[in-house]
Chains A and B, each alone.
Chain A
């Protein structure tokens, strides 16, 4: 019986370690991926005068697709409310393409980058978050 308790203890500790590592990997990889998409889109905008071009539309579509997948994975570990702003800003990007509002588009991209950066800090294990 004592051995059973020790096995339980070891299994629970192992499970907690796996959950912590999985959370860190999923969240940081997903958010970094979104950030890199944003940099890519910024470069595309710099090369073009307007938003109504295939390159921008495809890049935003890829960003949206990737975010939908990442959000699904992150929802197992992160409070939905903490990450919903990114999805909202990505939805706005499509509207700005339709109205060719390049300034608002750039602001949205900046905001997505900012949210990703903030969440990476907010979700990581550091003394600021612990205390």
Chain B
């Protein structure tokens, strides 16, 4: 039994490494060839885990071979548009201003229910609101609404909206995120001062759930027991 436990740990770490090497795209937006690789990896990983007579190498070697194959396929599809189209396909317009493209629908083996489901997921419940809907190579549907149904932007309203800045997390669950201190251009001493000032007299960083700060000094602080407060830090001259 100990053998199975150790083998499971080894295989888990190797599969984790394999997915890391394949890149983040693997986790969300899978192309057909990536989906195939993922399915095979899932199957391969279980063989040496469950069967003690099978050496771990019998699981590791195919996994590493698939990493190499994925790398080669990605490399070729990046450099060759034709190859990319062969293995990943190309985006297909399924809804155009005239309505649903029946030929495209048949070609993709979709039903009208599937199209409506994809449109609803994008927030459009009526097909008359849609200018274009495109089935992407990863199976997701991108929707471009008609002008009347497009969300209004500040540009449309001609308002002088200011750009917002990304809040940088300085303290998360009682721990200072050291990598972000330089990014936010603050010191640990300043963080402590902010906590003392806005954190209901909280003295300890351990009791801070979240502290964020953006480039213009807008901050948010919440202790583990209290409510969140927004504050404006004095910006360095």
Contacts and interface: CB of A to CB of B under 8 A. Distances in A.
B53 interface: yes
B5 to A, nearest CB: 19
Interface stretch (B54-62, B82-90, B134-142, B181-189): B54-62
Contacts, number: 29
Interface residues of A, number: 15
A53 interface: no
A80 B21 CA distance: 31
Contacts of B58: 79
Nearest to B72: A9
B216 interface: no
Contacts of B68: 9, 12-13, 16
B71 interface: yes
Q: Is the interface of A mostly helix, strand, loop or mixed?
A: helix
B53 A76 contact: no
Contact of A75 (B55, B64, B71): B55
Contacts of B57: 19, 76-77
Interface of A: 5, 8-9, 12-13, 15-16, 19, 75-81
Interface of B: 21, 53-55, 57-58, 61, 64-65, 67-68, 71
